[in-house]
Structure 1
Amino acid sequence: MRKQVISAVSAAVALGLGLTACGSGSDSGGGDNDALVVGATAVPAGEVLSYIKKDLAEKAGLDLEIKEFTDYVLPNTALQEGSLDANLYQNQPYLDDFNKSKGTDLVSVVKAYLPPMGVYSKEVEDVTELADGATVAVPNDVTNEGRALKLLASKGVITLDEAAGTTASPEDITANPKHLTFKELEPAQLPRSLDDVAAAVINNNYAQDAGLSPATEAVLLESAKDNPYANLLAVKKGDEDDPRVKKLVELLTSPEVKKFIEDKYKGSVLPVTSG
């Protein structure tokens, strides 16, 4: 069974500590001159937002405050509770599942970039070379595990039930010719598992945090074609028309940010210039 990414108690403690360390955020729906407080994972979201804050925000009349998080639960919890005005780190399938499972009311306002998920290994250079009975580490949250399994299935390593959607699990595997074993781990722990497993399917931000280059080191990388996993700027429902949010949307989809992403990540993160 999948483990919770973080327990309710530890989430509450971590949220309190995180917001205390970073300072108090603005209330939802602040005025035009208030800082827009945006939660993000460090890479690439935090780096993209830092570029905007340093090089573009002042000219656009946007006061931008960035709060960095190390997991996938707290940025949405903080957004729902009003400690953040927006966040940037997740994709639409994850947001939909989070709203459904947590009872939150968060919506996407724009797609910002695509951080392709990849398979990494210290044992093989191609996933088809995995040994019989090899152990593969995958994320333990619903949507990222489904995404990981679909990536493996795209190379024929496993076959998934055709009816399996974005929340596919190992129970949806209909063929496993290599008799692979799947080890479910918290997404942030996956890079550290590479010494203990044959391969790990790692989210882009955690791969880059660990010094891995998705474009050059992944033995299998998601294609951008028809990919539903672009990261998006999310807000609490009702805040879509906040003027500060609209300014950030314009900057996230600007030619300057597109060039920044292309130059900095060199294929490890792909720009998206429309919502």
Structure 2
Amino acid sequence: MKKLLFLVVAALVVLAACSGGKEKVTVGVASNDTKAWEKVKELAKDKDIDLEIKQFSDYNVPNKALSDGDIDMNAFQHFAFLNEYKKSHKNAKISAASTTVLAPLGIYSDKIKDIKNVKNGAKVIVPNDVSNQARSLKLLEAAGLIKLDKGFGLTGSIKDIKDNPKHLKIKAVDAQQTARALSDVDLSVINNGVASKAGLDPKKDPLFQEKTSSKAVEPYINVIAINDKDKDNKTYKEIIKLYHSKEAQKALKEDTKDGEKSVDLSQQEIKEIEQRLAK
């Protein structure tokens, strides 16, 4: 019995030595600012935090992983996406703990050089998730290609197009496919991070892009989400602080080719946006 107890204690000592006493935290990402998070991971070591970065290729997975406790925080979505997720998953108790970037949505093409030269019957693809589909259609409207119903909101879809003078053939596909299928269509509305991962320059390549100075883009500011029960977790707050450090922001700027606008809203501002969207 004494020998068994000795072996157990010895094993615990070895494990403690291997971990170096660091607290392990896992963040789920599916965006383009991976290098920023790698810098955060590097900086976190000095704070005795072992940060693991878990990559997701499907936007539908990171929030479930967070709710299920498979990860501790995620950074891949904007306010509108999170709001829609919470509406369709009533048991999900997750919220925005901080903001990260505003990644402008863009209209791309391999075949057209000017948005004014879009031909009749052109094939167009947009992301199929609820919030980004509505956002994409608003961008097509802003570009003068379609007109939407007067009451079109954050959850509008293709069926809410009021006028389509060029008879565009608009199809909603998985967000990751919007870049992969670019050569097969005339126009593709692509999320900033997806575009960058596909080798596109989100600052120079779009034929038309969202205006980041507009109040209307507030719902599309990206966030760091955590479970509500962890809102006072000091370690998570430290990680968020490191994300907004000069070192991490420099890495972000280089990684995204300066195609994203860094955003650091106060807790009050975050709360106000969440409350407006929840109505």
TM-score (norm: length of structure 2): 0.82
Q: Distance in 2 between matches of 1:128 and 1:161?
A: 22
The aligned counterpart of 1:64 is 51
8 Å Cα contact 2:107-2:188 kept in structure 1: yes
- CA RMSD after TM alignment: 1.7
Q: Distance in 2 between matches of 1:258 and 1:111?
A: 13
Q: Distance in 1 between matches of 2:144 and 2:244?
A: 35
Q: Distance in 2 between matches of 1:42 and 1:165?
A: 25
8 Å Cα contact 2:31-2:76 kept in structure 1: no
Counterpart residue identity of residue 249, structure 2: K
The aligned counterpart of 2:86 is 99
The aligned counterpart of 1:112 is 100
The aligned counterpart of 1:29 is none
% identical equivalent positions:
36
Q: Secondary structure at the match of 1:35?
A: strand
The Cα offsets for residues 66-110 of structure 1, whole Å up to 9 and x where unpaired, read as 111101011111100001110000000000101111232210011
8 Å Cα contact 2:108-2:206 kept in structure 1: yes
- The structure having more radius of gyration, on CA atoms, is 2
8 Å Cα contact 1:258-1:273 kept in structure 2: no
The aligned counterpart of 1:232 is 223
Q: Which structure 1 residue ranges, 5 or more long, are not aligned?
A: 1-31
The aligned counterpart of 1:13 is none
Q: Distance in 2 between matches of 1:106 and 1:38?
A: 14
Q: Distance in 1 between matches of 2:84 and 2:255?
A: 31
Q: Distance in 1 between matches of 2:253 and 2:143?
A: 27
Deviation at 1:267, TM superposition (A): 2.8
Runs ≥4 in structure 1, deviation > 4 angstroms? none
8 Å Cα contact 1:120-1:202 kept in structure 2: yes
Deviation at 1:128, TM superposition (A): 2.5
Q: Distance in 2 between matches of 1:68 and 1:219?
A: 29
Counterpart residue identity of residue 30, structure 2: T
Alignment of 1:107-146 (within 5 A): 107-146=95-134
**Which of 199, 210, 220 is the matching residue for 2:187?**
199
Alignment of 1:213-232 (within 5 A): 213-225=201-213, 226=215, 227-228=217-218, 229-232=220-223
Query: Number of residue pairs matched?
Result: 242
Q: Distance in 2 between matches of 1:124 and 1:253?
A: 38
Q: Distance in 1 between matches of 2:142 and 2:249?
A: 28
Q: Distance in 1 between matches of 2:208 and 2:138?
A: 12
The Cα offsets for residues 28-83 of structure 1, whole Å up to 9 and x where unpaired, read as xxxx9521111001522x222112112x2123443211111101011111100001
